[in-house]
Amino acid sequence: MTDVQDWEPLEIRPEDVGTRPGTAGLVEYLKGHPGFGALLVENKAVVFRDFAVPESELEPVLDLLLPNRLAYVHGNSPRTKVGENVYTSTEYPQELTISMHNELSYSAQWPSRLLFYCAVAPGSGGATPVVDGVKWLASLDDEVRQAFAQGVRYSQNLHDGLGLGKSWQDTFETDDRDTVEAFLAGSAAEWEWKGDGSLRVSQVRPATVRHPVTGAEVWFNQSDQWHPAALGDETAAELAELLPADELPQSVTFADGSPIPGEYAIQVRDRGLAAAVDVDWRQGDLLLIDNVLVGHGRRPFTGDRKVLVAMTD
């Protein structure tokens, strides 16, 4: 298996770039580096460490790093909108690990960049692991890579306000069916409104993509997160008792509808986590990632960790 431990994000501190801590120092640095996008592509992820940016002063930094902030439309993880297209990071129970993934890789359109900001550092743990997508792909067995070559099919059952998982209103940030249908039509998805007001969505997506600048091929799908095997035997068994497979909030198969072996999903999950580099948080730190080149996740934590996220196309 290819060595996957020889990459880490670039860290930039005020003293490294001849500026002062605080929002003004970071803004000054960014305005003086209009070619920062090339630096990000080269390094894949950048941590702005020890600038100690207050949450109340985050906006000018976001404007420079994310010039066209996007809404989290079609997002499948629970989070709260706290500003103009600024959200809390995934609100899963803090004792759980969130496995590696690229944001919205199951959708027809995904953000090119993500910015994470630490408003409140965790008491312990709570790192954001990041993984080089090229190395994640290389870490998988040939059998697994070949099996995914034709892509995957994602299926969602989005309730109308009461049920497991997210509602279609929360998912698409609207209660207008025409708006939802226009979005889905533009993404080449298949959908069906059910008699109870719920919405079923199905879409075929690639398992890997190539970066638009570097041409690098990366692992780029969320099959393991959508697969019941990755939930653990006990949770998967409980869900199976509650609902048949085609009624789960989300599920995944190969593109042709054939099942993905559970051991494949586990390998993808575990090798992504094993290949990841942890970014530990201090209050006021920021992490910017290229969302195609780099996957991300979350380690378990204690305390009142508050990390915000925003994205751009």
Q: Which two tokens stand for residue 158?
A: 């989005």
Residue in this structure with the two tokens 């939802």, named with its chain if needed: 180
At the top level of CATH, which class does the domain 10-122+279-312 belong to? Answer: alpha beta
pTM across the whole model: 0.89
Spell out where 220-283 has E strands: 250-254, 277-279
Which fold does the domain 137-270 belong to in CATH? Double-stranded beta-helix (3.60.130)
Query: Which is more confident, 100 or 229?
Result: 100
Domain ranges of the chain: 10-122+279-312, 137-270
Alpha-carbon distance of 85 to 72, in angstroms, equals: 7
CA end-to-end span of the chain:
34
276-313: per-residue pLDDT in tens?
A: 999 999 999 999 999 999 999 999 999 999 999 999 98
- Is there a common fold for 10-122+279-312 and 137-270? yes
Instruction: Look at residue 233 and give its three-state secondary structure.
Output: helix
Give the span between the Cα atoms of 220 and 201, in whole angstroms. Answer: 20
| Per-residue pLDDT tens digits for 198-241 | 999 999 999 999 999 999 999 999 999 999 887 765 665 566 56
What dihedral do alpha carbons 77, 80, 82, 83 form, nearest 10°? Answer: 50
Asked if 307 and 281 touch (Cβ cutoff 8 Å), the reply is yes
Q: Which residue, 250, 34, 231, 97, is CA-closest to 163?
A: 250
